[in-house]
Amino acid sequence: MTAYACVGQPLPKADGIEKITGRTVYMHDFKLPGMLHGRIKFADRVSARIVSIDTSEAERVPGVRAVITAHNTPEVRFGFLKDNTALKKDRVRQYRDEIAAVAATTPEAAEEAVRKIRVVYEDLPAVFDPEEALGPDAPLVHEADPRGKPLEDNRLRLPWKVEAGDLEQGEAAAVHVAEGEYDVGWVTHCCMGTSGCVAVFDGRGDLTVYSNTQIPSLAKTDFQEALKAMGVRGRVRVVNAAIGGGFGSKLDTYAYEYIAILLAHRTRRPVKVEFDREEEFVATSPRQPARIRVRQGCDADGRLTFRHISMVLDNGAYTSWGATTPTVMMMPATSLYRVPNVRFEATCVYTNNTYCQAMRGYGTPQVTFAIETNLDELADKAGLDPYEMRLRNANEPGETTPQGFEVTTCGHRECLEAVAERLDWAGKRGQGEGGGRKRRGVGMACLLHVGGGAKIYKSDGCGTLIKMDDQGYVDVFSGSMDIGQGLDTVLRQIVAETLGIGTDRVNVIVGDTDVCPWDVGVHASRSTFVAGNAALGAARMIRDQILAFAEQLTEAPREILDLRDGQVVCQEDPSKNLPLEKLLYKAHFAKTGNTMFMASHFYEPDTRLLAGDFKGNYSGTYTWGCHGVEVEVDVDTGHVEIVRYVAAHDVGRAINPLLLKGQVYGAVLMGIGYALTEEMIFEQGRLRNANFRDYKILTARDAVPVETVIVETDDPAGPFGAKGIGEPGLVPTAPAIANAIYDAVGVRLHTLPMKPEVVLRALLDRDGGPGPA
């Protein structure tokens, strides 16, 4: 592959110095003159009719400037199905429902006022299990849809179904079949910076929202709709503060943002709403739980003949992106490994639990846990080494999958082989059973993820503007956003490479909808690919403009001119080399010039919107990977210790290996948390463990030295060959660990997390040990 000057370099993160010295301004640090502090009164019941809301005492708290409820503000609807409102008028459906809100001069006054809001409820029946919620007698979470049409049951009208090949034929051709049910619950993002925003109206009625959203452009549209609902004729600007972690949590707008807007409008002052940690746990939307049934089979040689996946999703009380995760779960369901006959169907059900959202992997960690654990079970039935089974069914470059994905580059096999070799698969597998209290085992699992955007919205594009000043500095205005993943740095490298200048000459500006072009958002591991291609396109236009001007200046033909090391280089006559600053100065000021170099490019991947039959190529390319893990299981305590962890990914090309490894390390540890320690514990809809002591994200003492393998396949569609890698690192983590536990101690676990008591229970049940006392 071509060697580059900037691309491929392990550059430190561009905003790192600001962060390392404590200068970065997060939403937590952001304030405006005259700013009020907003606080929300959340529901005290999980399902009830609101009989009355008495805010009189709250209004009398010194410093309080406004107390709003659904009764004294316009209705603002939001969400994927518009089934949620900023403030709830006559009904609560979950504990996080917003009943009222206060704006006050200090956070303390706002808190005191919220405590003094009196709500009278009339309890209604509630339902917490999605399958019970499907029953004929289940209480309705919503009696009517947003248009007022009565609903007869709790099932969401969503068409999540895809089918290819002939399932019955595939069943008939199968010699071995594995079937199982896999149940994965709620986990949450745990961004270290809690959510918040500041809303402010100017004198004309224009609204600015200072935000930590991952979707500046879509949030702008959402807020613009809110203004319309409020009868305000103004425009919206969304400006980002630095984001203290995203992971999908900020991929949709939340009630708190609309509440800040309503409070700012009511008080004519800037209003900040910022969650404390408990609110962050309770009132942001976690990963979508799922109850997944998998049935798949293979022929005598271990080649997959069919796969059938059906699932029930607990949607919670309102609808956000969680309900749409099946559209991405379809991808590994139909296309991870070559399976000719596939069917996938998902049912989403309203319950009185919290509603769900996007979280790193967008459904694929859930369904991959089911597929890859089940595949191990199938290999067992077929008497095959699970590694061999995977190799036999591995995806290949150039194939079109049953769902219609056009696979270009594919390093699936290389990733499998790398993991098997690094882990000493052949030497280690099957050694676990036998004596001793601590038994080791190895397991692996693979992943397929979108690596070139995901067209789940009308446009999957990103716009970029580039302007160049006359001193050789470049400003890149990208619609995308840096959420810590390193977009700022990757775009620098791409633009610097294209223009033959140092990365220190490139300034990346993101997070202001008045300045930056449209982008669908930071999700689907798309930013390096889509925003990278957008920046690359614009940079190439600048390059062309510079070279065209250089052609005039040097009278050397364009074909022999190049941009390198900050100069225009004439390959045949170095005496004609021209420092870029000189050229830029001439272009701007000399008689020949009076021009400045600017360019814009909107990159839209050549992909198909996922809808209708849900078939077609909906990503510009696909990322492949395999994770392998060696565990040690303590058979007396059920503790699982990670001994070694190998994560191999086909990333197309590593634009920045340092930051890329950071994505993998972080994702893997998040995946280990998903596998072993993390769970949101809901009892009757109430979250019990809304703090870091009881919600167990892993610590530095738990950190695992992950061995990363970077497979480069130089994707033709990617910027300099790159694919997305933001999410993949946690997609196959849980099944790899589950499979390793099986290899170590011979029990199959179908629920997450595989915490010690779960492992121990499975061992005791198998061995006829003491029952639950």
Q: Which of residues 58-87 bind other proteins (CB under 8 A)?
A: none
Q: For residues 641-660, which are near other proteins according to CB under 8 A?
A: 658-659
Strand-pair category, 561-564 with 567-570: antiparallel
User: Which of positions 82-111 make contact with other proteins (CB under 8 A)?
Assistant: 108
The three-state secondary structure class of 666 is helix
Site stretch for other proteins (CB under 8 A), options 251-259, 323-331, 466-474, 764-772: 764-772
Question: Euclidean distance between the first and final Cα of the chain, in Å?
Answer: 63
216-230 and 255-267 are packed helices; what angle lies between their axes, rounded to 10 degrees? 50
| Residue (583 or 734) nearer to other proteins, CB | 734
Shortest spacing between CB 645 and other proteins, in angstroms: 10
What span, in angstroms and rounded, lies between the C-alpha atoms of 454 and 579? Answer: 41
Amino acid at 181: E
Report the nearest approach of other proteins to the CB of residue 316 (Å): 20
User: What residues have CB less than 8 Å from 427, skipping those under 6 apart?
Assistant: none
What residues numbered 402-441 form the site for other proteins, per CB under 8 A? 437
Residue that the structure tokens 């809690």 belong to: 194
Which range touches other proteins (CB under 8 A), out of 68-76, 167-175, 576-584, 754-762? 754-762
Minimal distance, residue 498 CB to other proteins, in Å: 24
CA pseudo-torsion sign 321, 323, 327, 331: positive
**Closer residue to other proteins (CB): 84 or 489:** 489
Among 300, 683, 767, 768, binds other proteins (CB under 8 A): 683
Instruction: Tell me the Ramachandran region of residue 566: left when phi exceeds 0, alpha when psi lies from -120 to 50, beta otherwise.
Output: left
The residue among 587 and 730 lying less far from other proteins, judged by its C-beta, is 730
Nearest distance from residue 263's CB to other proteins, in Å? 22
Q: Name the residue among 470, 550, 541 with its Cα closest to residue 505.
A: 470
DSSP string, 8-25: T--PPPTTHHHHHTT---
State the DSSP H helix or E strand holding residue 200, giving kind and residue range, or none if neither.
Answer: strand 196-201
Question: HEC string of 144-172?
Answer: ECCCCCECCCCECCCCCEEEECCHHHHHH
Cβ pair 130, 141 in contact under 8 A: no
* Min CB(459)–other proteins separation in Å: 27
What is the smallest separation between the CB atom of 284 and other proteins, expressed in angstroms? Answer: 13
CB of 718 to other proteins, least distance (A): 21
Kindly identify the residues of this chain, within the stretch 518-557, that bind other proteins according to CB under 8 A: none
Longest distance between any two alpha carbons in the chain, whole Å = 92
What residues contact residue 716 under an 8 Å CB cut-off, 6+ apart? Answer: 408, 409
The correct pick among 688, 716, 765, 766 for binding other proteins (CB under 8 A) is 688
Q: Is 103 helix (H, G, I), strand (E, B) or coil?
A: strand
For other proteins, which residue of 22, 33, 231, 434 counts as binding (CB under 8 A)?
22
- CA-derived radius of gyration, the chain: 27
Smallest separation (angstroms) from other proteins to the CB of 243 = 6
Compute the C-alpha angle 120/124/127, nearest 5°. 135
Sheet-wide strand order for 474-478: 506-509, 474-478, 462-468, 598-603
How far is the C-alpha of 216 from the C-alpha of 529, rounded, in Å? 18
* Six token digits for residue 206: 């224009």
Least Å from the CB of residue 173 to other proteins: 42
Shortest distance (Å) from residue 50 CB to other proteins: 24
Binding to other proteins in span 693-722, by CB under 8 A: 693-694, 696-706
Residue (76 or 763) nearer to other proteins, CB: 763
CA 657 to chain centre: 21
CB of 757 to other proteins, least distance (A): 4
248: left (phi over 0), alpha (psi -120 to 50) or beta: left
Q: Which of 72, 507, 689, 751 binds other proteins (CB under 8 A)?
A: 689
How many whole angstroms separate alpha carbon 198 and alpha carbon 136? 44
Among 1, 17, 426, 590, binds other proteins (CB under 8 A): 17
Selected range binding other proteins among 311-319, 456-464, 541-549, 756-764, rule: CB under 8 A: 756-764
Taking the complex as a whole, the smallest distance from the CB of residue 220 to other proteins amounts, in Å, to 22
Task: Give the integer Cα–Cα distance in Å for 563 and 505.
Answer: 14
Alpha-carbon gap, residue 486 to 481, rounded angstroms: 9
Nearer residue to other proteins within complex by CB, 463 or 666: 666
Instruction: Find the binding residues for other proteins in span 168-197 (CB under 8 A).
Output: 189-194
Residue 392 near residue 399, CB atoms below 8 Å: no
Contacting other proteins within 224-243 (CB under 8 A)? 242-243
Of the candidates 4, 9, 26, 602, which one interacts with other proteins according to CB under 8 A?
A: 26
- Minimum distance from residue 770 beta carbon to other proteins (Å): 6
Check residue 756 for interaction with other proteins (CB under 8 A). Answer: yes
Given the complex with other proteins, which of 221 and 689 has the nearer CB atom? 689
Helix axes 386-393, 364-382, angle to 10 degrees: 110
Binding to other proteins in span 604-643, by CB under 8 A: 636-637
- Closest contact distance (angstroms) between CB of 101 and other proteins is 20
If the CB atoms of residues 434 and 705 are measured against other proteins, the closer one turns out to be 705
Judged by beta carbon, residue 139 or residue 756, the one nearer other proteins is 756
Rounded Cα–Cα distance for residues 491 and 499 (Å): 12
Positions 320 through 359 that interact with other proteins (CB under 8 A): none
Cβ proximity to other proteins: between 278 and 544 the closer is 278
Residues paired with 630 in a beta bridge: 442, 644
Smallest separation, CB 764 to other proteins (Å): 8
From the CB of residue 151, how many other CB atoms can be counted at a distance below 10 Å?
16
DSSP codes joined into one string, 311-338? EEEEEESS-SGGGGTHHHHHHHHHHSS-
Q: Which is nearer to other proteins, 547 or 704 (CB)?
A: 704
How many residues lie near other proteins (CB under 8 A)? Answer: 81
User: Of the candidates 21, 52, 575, 594, which one interacts with other proteins according to CB under 8 A?
Assistant: 21
Q: How far is it, in rounded angstroms, from Cα 614 to Cα 312?
A: 19
Determine contact, residues 162/334, Cβ cutoff 8 Å.
yes
Using CB under 8 A, pick the residue from 168, 179, 301, 757 that binds other proteins.
757
Residue 723's SS3 state is coil
Contact flags string 246-265 toward other proteins, x per CB under 8 A: xx------------------
Site mask for other proteins (CB under 8 A), range 658-677, x = bound:
xx-xx-xxxxxxx-----xx
Which of residues 125, 504, 681, 765 is near other proteins by CB under 8 A?
A: 681
State which of positions 270-289 bind other proteins (CB under 8 A). 276-277
Interacting residue with other proteins among 185, 216, 441, 486 (CB under 8 A): 486
d(CA 199, CA 191): 21
Stretch that binds other proteins, among 17-25, 152-160, 374-382, 411-419 (CB under 8 A): 17-25
The nearest distance, CB 699 to other proteins, in angstroms, is 4
Q: Binding other proteins by CB under 8 A: which of 19, 71, 233, 268?
A: 19
Q: Which of 66, 199, 483, 631 is in the footprint of other proteins by CB under 8 A?
A: 483
Q: Of the candidates 144, 572, 596, 692, which one interacts with other proteins according to CB under 8 A?
A: 692
Residues 690 and 281 sit within 8 Å (Cβ to Cβ): yes
To the nearest whole angstrom, how small is the minimum distance from the Cβ of residue 530 to other proteins? Answer: 20
Out of 16, 63, 139, 234, which residue is the one contacting other proteins (CB under 8 A)? 16
Q: Return the beta strands (E) in 571-621 as ranges.
A: 578-579, 598-603
